[in-house]
């Protein structure tokens, strides 16, 4: 039945079976949640609690009338890196574009060099400090990409760090291979050869070591073409590994159509996506992962077509896109606020975006992202007036209790 019972709580479940036009959060007031072996065994109004055998011993915890939500899902991050790119922030404020910085050897490549020059242990320690901050902000499921190594040794180093973070810290980790992030200096002028290297050498070894949960690529006019990304997607299909894609951030380059054709879990950024692409996403069931942190930080002016996503019922996710060049953010609640103020999303939409839809973007919707029977008991207790308040504060809103895998876990 349960080994832990939480009572005296209000619950925002994010459960689609409870969400309605009147209540976009799936709320249950005066609720209780039963947990057994790390999973939710019962959730509902406390007045509907089933009779419990008198000899059943279990731990009862009071939520003191506060709000319980699912743990937050950060489904797009580049948090595994070394080095510092704060100077680029100043350059952009002095008129240099993101594309110009990348073309002159800065941007991603500068982080690649720094990441290559640290040991695996050093990279773990650097990354763990950032992840601790994410955990403190409410993240319980975290996508972590490679893409700052771009050699066999260094891509595997990043992916091993992702696995090690998941083993050492109270956070559920989804590791993504993003070898097609940038062209490394040693392959300058040989972009097709580099894609071949990814497919023939790095991807098979990473898959052999069970280091990959999905494969991503950067399909853009300053990165890789749809034809090159398709070669990578074919290789991923042969290995039965799901795909995702950075697309339509700086231009419409055709990546979204490609991603939809291959049934991608998500396509991410999408400032320059058009309606025909969105129709393809709807047919494929692909999540539109929106990243307002990057939009804000690089001072983009073209807003993703939120109304078209709504029109075609494309699920909208949100993530921090935590990275050193364009989104130095660890706060999903801060991202929720940006999505409301910059993209005009509703608080209800942003709540779903960082819970059940975030989980869907990682293929984890059957275990995470909602408070429902059978789901893992990753939960947050907040001292708030209601779930709408999570998108009100501009970051820094932290849960007072964090339950991970059914057990109380440190917030910090």
Which residue from 73, 86, 143 is spatially nearest to 114, judged by alpha carbons?
Answer: 86
Neighbours of 157 (CB within 10 A): 21
Annotated binding-site residue? 8: no
Token duo for residue 226 = 């749809």
d(CA 68, CA 122): 36
Which residue from 162, 214, 218, 161 is spatially nearest to 195, judged by alpha carbons?
Answer: 218
Residues β-bridged to residue 316: 288
Alpha helices in 179-327 (DSSP H): 191-197, 203-208, 226-238, 255-261, 275-284, 292-297, 306-311
Annotated binding-site residue? 25: no
289: phi then psi, degrees, rounded to nearest 5: -90, 110
Pairing of strands 245-247, 214-219: parallel
Annotated binding-site residue? 398: no
Neighbours of 7 (CB within 10 A): 16
Start-to-end C-alpha separation, the chain: 31
Annotated binding-site residue? 129: no
Annotated binding-site residue? 369: no
d(CA 239, CA 230): 14
Annotated binding-site residue? 246: yes
Annotated binding-site residue? 174: no
Token duo for residue 277 = 């692409």
Give, in order, the Cα–Cα distances in Å from 397 to each of 317, 329, 332.
Answer: 20, 14, 9
214: phi then psi, degrees, rounded to nearest 5: -160, 170
Annotated binding-site residue? 85: yes
Q: Answer whether 25's CB lies under 8 Å from 6's CB.
A: no
Annotated binding-site residue? 323: yes
Q: Answer whether 182's CB lies under 8 Å from 192's CB.
A: no
Neighbours of 299 (CB within 10 A): 10
Token duo for residue 47 = 């007045």
In the annotated binding site, the residues are 76, 78, 85, 148, 181, 246, 249, 321, 323, 325-326
In the annotated binding site for Fe(3+), the residues are 76, 78, 246, 321
In the annotated binding site for 4-imidazolone-5-propanoate, the residues are 85, 148, 181, 249, 326
In the annotated binding site for N-formimidoyl-L-glutamate, the residues are 148, 323, 325
In the annotated binding site for Zn(2+), the residues are 76, 78, 246, 321
């Amino acid at each position: 039945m349960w080994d832990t019972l939480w009572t005296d709580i209000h619950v925002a479940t994010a459960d689609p079976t409870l969400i309605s036009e009147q209540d976009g959060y799936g709320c249950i007031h005066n609720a209780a949640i039963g947990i057994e072996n790390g999973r939710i065994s019962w959730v509902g109004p406390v007045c509907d609690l089933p009779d419990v055998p008198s000899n059943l011993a279990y731990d009862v915890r009071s939520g003191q009338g506060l709000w319980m939500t699912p743990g937050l899902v950060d489904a797009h991050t580049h948090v595994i890196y070394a080095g510092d790119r704060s100077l680029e922030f100043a350059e952009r404020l002095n008129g240099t574009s993101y594309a110009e910085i990348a073309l002159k050897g800065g941007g991603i490549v500068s982080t690649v060099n720094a990441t290559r020059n640290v040991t695996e242990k050093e990279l773990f320690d650097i990354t763990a400090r950032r992840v601790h901050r994410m955990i403190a902000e409410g993240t319980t499921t975290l996508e972590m990409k490679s893409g700052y190594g771009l050699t066999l040794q260094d891509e595997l180093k990043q992916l091993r760090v992702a696995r090690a973070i998941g083993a050492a810290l109270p956070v559920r980790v989804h590791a993504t291979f993003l070898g097609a992030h940038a062209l490394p200096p040693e392959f300058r002028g040989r972009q097709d050869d580099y894609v071949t290297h990814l497919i023939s050498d790095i991807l098979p070894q990473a898959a052999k070591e069970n280091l990959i949960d999905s494969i991503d690529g950067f399909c853009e006019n300053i990165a890789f073409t749809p034809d090159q990304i398709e070669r990578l997607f074919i290789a991923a299909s042969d290995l039965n590994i799901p795909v995702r894609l950075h697309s339509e951030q700086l231009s419409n380059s055709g990546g979204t159509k490609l991603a939809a054709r291959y049934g991608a879990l998500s396509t991410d950024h999408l400032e320059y996506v058009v309606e025909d692409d969105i129709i393809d996403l709807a047919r494929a069931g692909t999540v539109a992962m929106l990243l307002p942190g990057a939009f804000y930080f690089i001072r983009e002016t073209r807003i993703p077509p939120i109304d078209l996503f709504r029109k075609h019922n494309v699920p909208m996710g949100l993530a921090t896109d935590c990275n050193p060049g364009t989104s130095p953010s660890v706060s999903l609640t801060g991202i929720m606020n940006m999505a409301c103020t910059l993209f005009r999303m509703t608080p209800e939409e942003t709540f779903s975006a960082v819970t059940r839809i975030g989980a869907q973007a990682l293929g984890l919707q059957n275990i995470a992202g909602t408070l429902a029977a059978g789901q893992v008991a990753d939960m947050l207790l907040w001292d708030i007036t209601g779930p709408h308040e999570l998108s009100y504060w501009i970051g820094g809103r932290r849960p007072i209790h964090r339950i991970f895998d059914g057990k109380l876990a440190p917030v910090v």
